[in-house]
């Protein structure tokens, strides 16, 4: 009868009993988010709903907190006797009940039969990652993303705020980070500069906007790799005090934060102090991905840290670095998350750092071991949850067919997340084309029960889903193109692979040789200073 995305746990309807019709006089219990519902109804059905305390009258939508609902984000929704009752244990549950009701009203033009819905999420973490580092997305865009996330019952905005190509969050103690570090001289697309950053006020506004939609914001401060923009502002952060520019192009950079100098840790802790103020949600993502060890192998400070802390090698030095950052956050009652990408010896990483698992191992065994150690795991598998990758690779069918659970035990997986890397995503138009409809399938993986998402049912529900997206004028990809034919698939793949033919690899080769010479000079200088 209804085609809700993500699929609710159970829906029962009957034509024998009285349902509910939305009228001009319909009222809704006042709540922090009733205005979201009211404007949706005005826009889609051209009906005015008013906030009004429950007087038991007909025509009302009654929201009620109810201790008897067992799941924190769960709700029940009943349409009967010309009323709608939404009961939930928390405000989040009420909000999700209203989101479901919005889809039901849209599909029935406001005339609901007797309906009984019981619903709760499969996973508690249902995320979307926005990379604001490569391209800056203004406050209005981020709010729009929050609106669209709310429609999908997604509850975590993982906000990638620092990158080689831009440092996007104002840090009062290090003003250069945004004065200089938020602008790159040109981009993948043209020779024009690109820049932008979020002030403390902007962040406050976005965090508040998200909170009203039950979305928690987890900022990412990507360290020790992906730090070219910060190093461009403060060269002492790198092993060899190198003078870099904010990166103009994509690719893995070899100059990363020095893990041997205490001044690096001071900087990192100072930035975290401000991030903890700006993002009071208690969780910070600390990156950890693609931290190549070229400079650390040559750097006298890093080598000294390895010796003094009896570490085996540079991989263990990264574990030491991440652990110190994690300890700092823990001391402030914050939790940390990091990527499991390019971690050569994952078992050195403290188990209380959660992982966004983008590189999934071929078998579930490694994940099982991590879960046994108590590590929280979020499934962000690049295939198929990287939403920037072409539809030819991560087809809608592939997203639908993917098992979100990382082990055979459901409890081992905290949740799922769709990731929008923006190296080749300069604006919302492109972002939406890539995110939708795939994000709909990821939302089902995160919320709906085990049989979902299913490609067959997704296709069945797609027409209503796209109508919902139309309400927000979303620039989605047509269903047919979201699982392209063999030929189109290979064409798009070839087009996308052109990224690989890039000067970064060649540049690194020459630059590594130069860095080696600089490291040699530094070692000599330090030796002479000691003598």
Neighbours of 112 (CB within 10 A): 23
Binder to Zn ion among 77, 302, 381, 431 (CB under 5 A)?
A: 302
Residue span 344-363 as binding mask against ligand ACM, x where in contact by CB under 6 A, dash where not: --------------x-----
Taking the complex as a whole, the smallest distance from the CB of residue 367 to ligand ACM amounts, in Å, to 17
339 binds, among Zn ion, ligand ACM, none (CB under 5 to 8 A by kind): ligand ACM
Check residue 290 for interaction with ligand ACM (CB under 6 A): yes
> Omega into 179 within 30° of 0, i.e. cis?
no
How far is the first Cα of the chain from the last one, in angstroms, to the nearest whole number? Answer: 83
Taking the complex as a whole, the smallest distance from the CB of residue 356 to ligand ACM amounts, in Å, to 7
Check residue 289 for interaction with ligand ACM (CB under 6 A): yes
Taking the complex as a whole, the smallest distance from the CB of residue 25 to ligand ACM amounts, in Å, to 52
Give dist(CA 529, CA 300) in Å, integer. 13
Closest CB to Zn ion among 34 and 508?
A: 508
260 binds, among Zn ion, ligand ACM, none (CB under 5 to 8 A by kind): Zn ion
Give dist(CA 224, CA 299) in Å, integer. 14
Contacts with ligand ACM: how many residues (CB under 6 A)?
5
Give dist(CA 203, CA 183) in Å, integer. 19
Neighbours of 62 (CB within 10 A): 18
**Contacts to Zn ion from residues 231-260, by CB under 5 A:** 239, 258, 260
Phi, psi of 519 (to 5 degrees): -65, -40
Binder to ligand ACM among 341, 391, 447, 458 (CB under 6 A)?
A: 341
Exposure string over 304-314, b if 16+ CB within 10 A, otherwise e: ebbeeeebeeb
Distances (CA, A) of 359 to 377, 378, 386: 12, 11, 11
Check residue 288 for interaction with Zn ion (CB under 5 A): no
Give dist(CA 382, CA 358) in Å, integer. 5
Check residue 198 for interaction with ligand ACM (CB under 6 A): no
Taking the complex as a whole, the smallest distance from the CB of residue 289 to ligand ACM amounts, in Å, to 4
CA torsion 55-59-64-70 (nearest 10°) is 140
299 binds, among Zn ion, ligand ACM, none (CB under 5 to 8 A by kind): Zn ion
Strands (E), 29-106: 50-51, 60-65, 75-80, 83-88
From 216-224, 295-303, 478-486, 515-523, span contacting Zn ion (CB under 5 A) = 295-303
Taking the complex as a whole, the smallest distance from the CB of residue 461 to ligand ACM amounts, in Å, to 30
301 binds, among Zn ion, ligand ACM, none (CB under 5 to 8 A by kind): Zn ion
Closest CB to Zn ion among 257 and 381?
A: 257
Closest CB to ligand ACM among 221 and 339?
A: 339
Closest CB to ligand ACM among 91 and 290?
A: 290
258 binds, among ligand ACM, Zn ion, none (CB under 5 to 8 A by kind): Zn ion
Taking the complex as a whole, the smallest distance from the CB of residue 359 to ligand ACM amounts, in Å, to 8
Check residue 339 for interaction with ligand ACM (CB under 6 A): yes
- Tell me if residue 90 falls in helix, strand or coil: coil
Residues in Cβ contact with 450 at an 8 Å cutoff, skipping those fewer than 6 apart: 122
Residue 197 CA neighbour count, 13 Å, CB half: 23
Give dist(CA 122, CA 505) in Å, integer. 42
Residues forming contacts to ligand ACM in the complex (CB under 6 A) are 289-290, 339, 341, 358
């Amino acid at each position: 009868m209804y085609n809700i995305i993500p699929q609710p746990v159970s829906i029962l309807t009957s034509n024998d009993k009285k349902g509910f019709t939305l009228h001009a006089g319909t009222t809704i219990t006042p709540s922090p988010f009733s205005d979201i519902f009211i404007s949706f109804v005005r826009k889609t059905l051209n009906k005015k709903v008013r906030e009004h305390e429950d007087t038991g009258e007909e025509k009302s939508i009654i929201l009620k907190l109810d201790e008897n609902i067992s799941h924190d984000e769960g709700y029940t929704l009943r349409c009967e006797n010309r009323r709608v009752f939404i009961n939930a244990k928390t405000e989040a549950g009420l909000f999700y009940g209203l989101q479901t009701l919005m889809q039901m009203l849209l599909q029935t033009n406001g005339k609901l039969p007797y309906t009984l819905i019981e619903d709760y999420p499969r996973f508690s973490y249902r995320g979307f990652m926005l990379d604001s580092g490569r391209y800056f997305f203004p406050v209005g865009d981020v709010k729009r993303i929050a609106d669209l996330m709310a429609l999908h019952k997604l509850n975590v905005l993982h906000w990638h705020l620092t990158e080689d190509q831009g440092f996007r969050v104002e840090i009062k103690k290090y003003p250069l980070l945004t004065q200089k570090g938020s602008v790159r001289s040109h981009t993948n697309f043209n020779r024009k500069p690109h820049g932008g950053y979020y002030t403390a006020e902007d962040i406050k506004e976005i965090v508040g906007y998200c909170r009203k939609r039950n979305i928690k914001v987890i900022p990412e401060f990507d360290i020790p790799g992906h730090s070219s923009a910060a190093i461009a502002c403060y060269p002492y952060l790198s092993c060899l005090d190198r003078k870099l520019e904010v990166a103009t192009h994509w690719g893995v950079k070899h100059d990363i934060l020095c893990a041997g100098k205490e001044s690096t840790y001071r900087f990192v802790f100072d930035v975290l102090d401000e991030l903890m103020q700006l993002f009071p949600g208690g969780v910070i993502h600390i990156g950890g991905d693609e931290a190549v060890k070229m400079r650390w192998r040559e750097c006298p400070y890093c080598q000294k840290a390895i010796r003094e802390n009896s570490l085996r090698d540079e991989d263990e030095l990264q574990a030491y670095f991440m652990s110190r950052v994690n300890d700092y956050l823990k001391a402030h009652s914050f939790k940390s998350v990091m990527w499991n990408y390019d971690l050569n010896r994952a078992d050195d990483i403290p188990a209380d750092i959660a992982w966004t698992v983008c590189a999934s191992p071929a078998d579930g065994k490694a994940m099982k071991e991590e879960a046994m150690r108590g590590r929280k795991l979020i499934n962000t598998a690049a295939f198929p949850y990287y939403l920037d990758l072409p539809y030819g690779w991560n087809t809608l069918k592939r997203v639908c067919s993917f098992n979100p659970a990382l082990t055979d035990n459901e409890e081992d997986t905290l949740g799922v997340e769709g990731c929008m890397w923006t190296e080749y995503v300069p604006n919302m138009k492109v972002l939406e084309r890539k995110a939708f409809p795939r994000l709909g399938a990821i939302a089902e993986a995160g919320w709906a029960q085990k049989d979902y998402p299913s490609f067959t049912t997704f296709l069945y529900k797609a027409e209503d889903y796209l109508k919902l997206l139309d309400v927000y004028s979303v620039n989605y990809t047509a269903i047919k193109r979201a699982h392209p034919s063999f030929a189109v698939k290979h064409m798009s793949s070839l087009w996308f692979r052109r990224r690989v033919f890039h000067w970064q690899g060649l540049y690194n080769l020459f630059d590594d040789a130069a860095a080696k010479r600089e490291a040699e000079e530094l070692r000599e200088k330090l030796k002479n200073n000691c003598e």
